[in-house]
């Protein structure tokens, strides 16, 4: 089965073609960063308009790259939620219209399930069951995964998601949007010994996260430096390093705790923040001491992309799922509401 995947949940238009026998055939991505950077964040209406402009040309590009035509597509998967409602509606309307025109099924896919299954696109895949750490601009969750649709939420952020905290700290330091990569880059030149930021909620039981206090601690440190003669380039680098180390340290502690609690030895990390090199290195080092393994998507599939939607959709389409007349996009959509499927991942 060849599945065309459309991702339009926020500010990136991702298109991909996945074959359940041959794997990923082609993919393309257009990022709207240049559109939103002057506003310091995503403007929903501008995002929706840009999806309208870019989606069809990218679909044509992906088909041509794979050497196929519309007649070779067997189904369409699209992001139905969670996300920005206008952006979701663009993808859903386009996908369902094309599916009706081509006489093939369409299926709305959960955005976070796409991220969770993105490591399955790699040659070395994790086996069920495992613990998944989903870290992005909108979500920070620990989930036990016993199969596709068999999810148990273990912990989540009680306030800001990790990616959102990175973006806010970037603003404090005068860094451009999106902030996460800029903070990580700046942190590489920071002194890890100068500041020691707290690891939130690690001194109590449980697997929930909270980054609002860490964000406030960072802001107070910025103000202290400003009051002592101005915020220098060295100050910014050292603060970025302390902040990143605190986030990474918190996640490593929580991931190790989750694996021990569930009696598992496999961790999957996905979402935009999973591309952070410091986080990858520290997790690998900490888990190897426990005899555990960690799996990630390729860096290009950490952020939003069409390949993860095509893959996740393909698994559910193989299990017989299809959209019906009542299918709607869902800006808020708990992953626990997804039905399990009983087929092996292709």
Which parts are annotated binding residues for Fe cation? 111, 115, 304
Annotated binding-site members: 111, 115, 134-138, 167, 180, 276, 304
Cα–Cα distance measured from residue 243 to residue 191, given in angstroms and rounded to the nearest whole number:
11
Residues with Cβ within 8 Å of residue 216, at least 6 apart in sequence: none
Beta-sheet pairing, 75-81 with 106-110 = parallel
Annotated binding-site members for substrate: 134-138, 167, 180, 276
- The alpha helices in the chain, defined as continuous H runs, are 33-36, 44-66, 85-102, 111-117, 162-172, 179-187, 212-227, 233-262, 277-288, 306-318
Query: What are the tokens at 284?
Result: 């690998």
Cα–Cα distance measured from residue 98 to residue 93, given in angstroms and rounded to the nearest whole number:
9
* 3-class SS of residue 138: coil
Beta-sheet pairing, 75-81 with 2-7 = parallel
Which strands form 140-147's sheet, in the order they lie side by side?
Answer: 150-156, 140-147, 130-135, 266-270, 293-295
Query: What are the tokens at 319?
Result: 């299990």
* 3-class SS of residue 279: helix
Q: Are 317 and 107 in contact (CB under 8 A)?
A: yes
Sign of CA dihedral 73, 322, 131, 146: negative
């Amino acid at each position: 089965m060849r599945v065309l995947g459309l991702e339009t949940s926020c500010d990136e238009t991702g298109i991909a073609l996945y074959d359940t026998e041959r794997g990923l055939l082609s993919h393309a991505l257009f990022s709207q960063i240049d559109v939103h950077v002057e506003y310091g964040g995503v403007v929903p209406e501008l995002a929706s308009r840009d999806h309208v402009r870019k989606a069809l040309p990218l679909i044509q590009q992906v088909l041509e790259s794979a050497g196929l035509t519309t007649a070779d597509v067997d189904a369409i998967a699209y992001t139905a939620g969670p996300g920005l409602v206008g952006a979701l509606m663009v993808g859903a309307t386009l996908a369902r219209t094309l599916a009706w025109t081509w006489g093939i099924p369409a299926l709305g896919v959960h955005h976070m399930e796409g991220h969770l299954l993105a490591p399955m696109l790699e040659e070395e895949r994790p086996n069920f069951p495992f613990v998944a750490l989903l870290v992005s601009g909108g979500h920070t969750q620990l989930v036990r995964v016993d199969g596709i649709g068999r999810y148990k939420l273990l912990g989540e952020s009680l306030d800001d998601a990790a990616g959102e905290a990175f973006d806010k700290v970037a603003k404090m330091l005068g860094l451009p949007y999106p902030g996460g990569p800029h903070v990580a880059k700046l942190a590489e030149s920071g002194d890890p010994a100068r500041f020691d930021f707290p690891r939130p909620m690690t001194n109590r039981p449980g697997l929930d996260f909270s980054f609002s206090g860490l964000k406030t601690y960072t802001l107070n440190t910025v103000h202290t430096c400003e009051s002592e003669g101005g915020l220098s380039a060295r100050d910014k680098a050292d603060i970025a390093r302390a902040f990143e180390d605190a986030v990474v340290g918190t996640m490593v502690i929580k991931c190790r705790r989750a694996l021990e609690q569930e009696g598992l030895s496999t961790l999957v990390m996905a979402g935009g923040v999973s591309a952070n090199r410091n986080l990858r290195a520290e997790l690998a080092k900490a888990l190897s001491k426990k005899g555990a393994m960690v799996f990630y998507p390729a860096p290009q599939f950490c952020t939003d992309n069409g390949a993860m939607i095509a893959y996740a959709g393909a698994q559910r389409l193989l299990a017989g799922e299809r959209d019906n007349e009542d299918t709607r996009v869902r800006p808020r959509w708990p992953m626990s509401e997804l039905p399990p499927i009983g087929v092996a991942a292709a």
